[in-house]
Amino acid sequence: MGKTEAKKSGVAGFMKIFQSQQAGLLFIIIALGAILTYFARYTDPATGQVMNKFFNANTLIQTMTDASFFAIMAVGATAVIISCGIDLSVGSVYALSGVAMAMTLRSIGPAMDTTGGVFLAMAICLGIGIVAGLINGTLVVSFKVHPFIITLGSMMILRGVAFRLSKAESILVPDALTGAVKAHLGLGNTLSPLPMIVMLVVMVCGEIYLTRTVAGRHIFAVGGNEEASHYAGLRLNRIKVGIYAMAGLCAGIAAFTGTSFYGAASCADATGYELYVIASAVVGGASLTGGKGSAVSAVLGAIIITLIRQSIRTLNFNQDNEMIIIGAAIIIAVVIDQTSARKAAKRLAQRGPEAK
């Protein structure tokens, strides 16, 4: 009897994993990867060997690198969305953090082309990100204005400050930063896996924070039912400010990683990333009505969006349609989410009388 129950429990656990949100996202990633692998095959005219433009170490790591910069920000944005908020300023926080960091290091001079310069650059980017997030959160809770309006305004202000500081110049960063973030880690001179590793570390930390800590559960509580959270004694204002600070921190991490990787900072950096960040969270299953989301799913959503962009190029589709396809993916994801939520609520309502 014990073995039978254990077997049933194991099957139930496997089915739960198979039916989870992440399993569906992984299936989409595998399907897109298989399509790209199939259509990216070609015969090398010199050797006659069948090669693949997608399924190789360089392209796979580059794809993950392309996804990493807005996937990192998507982890913080997911926490905001779970709380029933929104943050449109993350791309501008990225730009301002990168510009301020590059200008500071340039003003100090060659002395910053060292390991010390790397840590100072990191501190500047993370510090500006946290401060920007704290300002966003404070404005939201102080003025009781919808976060869409607050972060839309801060998006324009921060981008404008970055423009004024840099005077629209592209500012180079010391070689020490680029060397650190582009470290090959023994994988070969053409591979730079560090941005991907940073993305995975942020994803794991974000998932642990949201699902395994009291503070993370408070975020879900606020997004699920703010009034009930208030009567439960939660400090809503402090929680909300902390959530936006978390989003700013993630933008700062992305700014340090991205600016160092590309070797320069500009006020135009991360323009339009707001779309990709929010799309990653939504495609990953975060509910814009609050109370639902996952750091892991947000990163998987970012990878899906990157693969969609990769598919457009690999299959030689018109790249002018990229925004159309990604926009359609967002709409489909939201419709599926809302439909499943309504069905779940209906099933719960039907079970209510039976439970009694």
Residues 6+ apart with CB under 8 A from 166: 99, 103, 265, 266, 267
- pLDDT, the chain, mean: 88
- Distance (Å, rounded) from C-alpha 13 to C-alpha 20? 11
Please give the distance of CA 140 from its chain centroid, rounded to a whole number. Answer: 22
- Distance (Å, rounded) from C-alpha 301 to C-alpha 144? 31
pTM of the model: 0.89
pLDDT of residue 25: 86
Provide the phi-psi class of 138: left if phi over 0, else alpha when psi is between -120 and 50, else beta: alpha
Closest CA relative to residue 102, chosen from 271, 272, 256, 273: 256
Pairing of strands 171-172, 50-52: unpaired
- Distance (Å, rounded) from C-alpha 250 to C-alpha 74? 8
pLDDT of residue 1: 47
pLDDT one-digit tens code per residue, 2-51: 555 555 554 444 445 445 668 888 988 998 899 889 888 888 787 878 88
Q: Which residue intervals of the chain are DSSP H helices? A: 2-18, 21-39, 57-82, 90-108, 115-143, 147-166, 175-181, 194-212, 214-224, 226-231, 236-262, 273-283, 295-314, 322-355
The ranges assigned to domains in the chain are 72-310
- Distance (Å, rounded) from C-alpha 169 to C-alpha 267? 8
Residue 42 bridge partners (DSSP): 51
Residue ranges, the chain, pLDDT below 70: 1-21, 337, 341, 352-356
Closest CA relative to residue 61, chosen from 204, 188, 177, 173: 188
pLDDT one-digit tens code per residue, 92-116: 999 999 999 999 999 998 888 899 9
Count Cβ atoms below 10 Å from residue 59 Cβ, excluding itself.
16
Question: Can you tell me whether residue 264 is helix, strand or coil?
Answer: strand
96: exposed, middle or buried (C-beta count within 10 Å: 0-12, 13-18, 19+)? Answer: buried
22: exposed, middle or buried (C-beta count within 10 Å: 0-12, 13-18, 19+)? Answer: middle
The residue with tokens 């920007």 is: 132
DSSP 319: G
pLDDT of residue 289: 86
pLDDT of residue 39: 86
The residue with tokens 């800590």 is: 213
Contact 291, 220 (CB under 8 A): yes
